[in-house]
Amino acid sequence: MSLFHHLFLPHHTNNQRAKILHPSVLSLIIFVFAVFQISLSQVSRTLPQILGFASQIPASEIVRLTNIQRSNHNLSALKLDAKLSAAAAQKASDMFAKNYWSHVSPSGTQPWFFITQSGYSYRFAGENLARDFSDPDSVVVAWMNSASHKDNLLNTRYEDIGVAVVDGQLEGRETTLVVQMFGTKLQNIPQVSEASTSLVAKALEPSPVPTILPTPTESPSLPVAAKISTPPAVSSPFEITKYLSVGLLTIFTLVLVADVVIINRKKISRWTSKSFAHLIFVVIVLIAISTILRGKII
């Protein structure tokens, strides 16, 4: 307990300043952190099977969670379609190859191109995208919290689903892309009713609003989403860095809060730097870090 006081709280043993705020200990922490990060980087490069970047998001889990949401809203479950999964994987590959994060590629390629290319003749189709999430629940929750994405997840017109989870470098950063495609086969709707015709106009709005187009052909089945997903490595350097970094800054935040409160309460006068200023700086950067770690959907 005295060691705890010595390290983290103002105490007579540390000259009324938590030891980890002393320049000597700060220098040591910076040195150890830097060496650890360099080592981590080297190990992940030389032994990618141990510390390769990999997502913990099985495509099958995205499908399962989507169907749970649909079931909660008394909707029929979507069937996993190999062609839609292949289309999703092709879309993810295209985003990595052309380095973009959008429903439409810089050259103007629409998501529907990948669906038709995979041989899925659709009557209705839609697309949801997500990146930088670390678990499948967060992805589906984020989509459910967005009106347009939720519309896709709970759309009664869809019968099939395809999902691809692909790791790669996007905009200079290791990223996990989740591409979710929905569809209803052309032959499953024998005739176009007046009601569904009115949906066509709405469907021509930008993604992720579902669209509708007739396509002529179908091609043989392709592997399912689970096979398209990259097999996860044992651990990811990004995950390790994330927990270490957030943990370290959180400890510093708590130590600084304790320092400000205790020193103010005990009316202790010291000749040191200002803990409240450190606190402002560290907390704002912690908030900034949360934006880096947060997954995005479009």
Partner 1 sequence: MSDITFEKDFSRHPLHYFTLLVVQLIGLWGIFWFSYQQYMQFVIVVSMAVSYVVWGIIHHQEHKDLHPKIVAEYVLIAMLVVIVFGSLLFNT
Q: Phi, psi at residue 160, to the nearest 5°?
A: -120, 160
CB nearer to partner 1: pick between 17 and 123: 17
Cβ of residue 64: shortest distance to partner 1, in angstroms? Answer: 28
Q: Segment 47-106, which members bind partner 1 (CB under 8 A)?
A: 53, 101
Q: Which helix (H) or strand (E) holds 62?
A: helix 59-72
Cβ of residue 34: shortest distance to partner 1, in angstroms? Answer: 6
Instruction: Determine if 237 is a binding residue for partner 1 (CB under 8 A).
Output: yes
CB nearer to partner 1: pick between 227 and 296: 296
**Taking Cα atoms as reference points, which of 183, 197, 165, 170 lies closest to residue 54?**
165
Asked if residue 136 lies in contact with residue 63, where contact means CB atoms within 8 angstroms, the answer is: no
Largest CA distance in the chain: 84
Asked if residue 223 lies in contact with residue 8, where contact means CB atoms within 8 angstroms, the answer is: no
DSSP 8-state class, residue 213 = -
3-state secondary structure of 37: helix
Cβ of residue 48: shortest distance to partner 1, in angstroms? Answer: 13
* Cα end-to-end distance, the chain, whole Å: 49
Token pair for residue 187? 């032959």
Window contacting partner 1 (CB under 8 A); options: 22-30, 76-84, 205-213, 226-234: 22-30
Cβ of residue 271: shortest distance to partner 1, in angstroms? Answer: 5
Q: Segment 239-298, which members bind partner 1 (CB under 8 A)?
A: 241-242, 245, 248-249, 252, 260, 263-264, 267-278, 280-282, 284-285, 287-289, 291-293, 296
Q: Phi, psi at residue 130, to the nearest 5°?
A: -145, 150
CB nearer to partner 1: pick between 198 and 272: 272
Query: With contacts defined by CB under 8 A, how many residues of the chain interact with partner 1?
Result: 53
Q: Segment 142-171, which members bind partner 1 (CB under 8 A)?
A: 171
**Taking Cα atoms as reference points, which of 168, 161, 159, 141 lies closest to residue 297?**
141
Side chain identity, residue 13: T
CB nearer to partner 1: pick between 8 and 122: 8
Cβ of residue 230: shortest distance to partner 1, in angstroms? Answer: 15
DSSP assignment of 71-94: HHTT-PPPEE-HHHHHHHHHHHHH
**Residues of the shown chain interacting with partner 1 in the complex, contacts defined by CB under 8 A:** 21, 23, 26-27, 29-30, 33-34, 37, 40-41, 53, 101, 171-174, 236-238, 241-242, 245, 248-249, 252, 260, 263-264, 267-278, 280-282, 284-285, 287-289, 291-293, 296
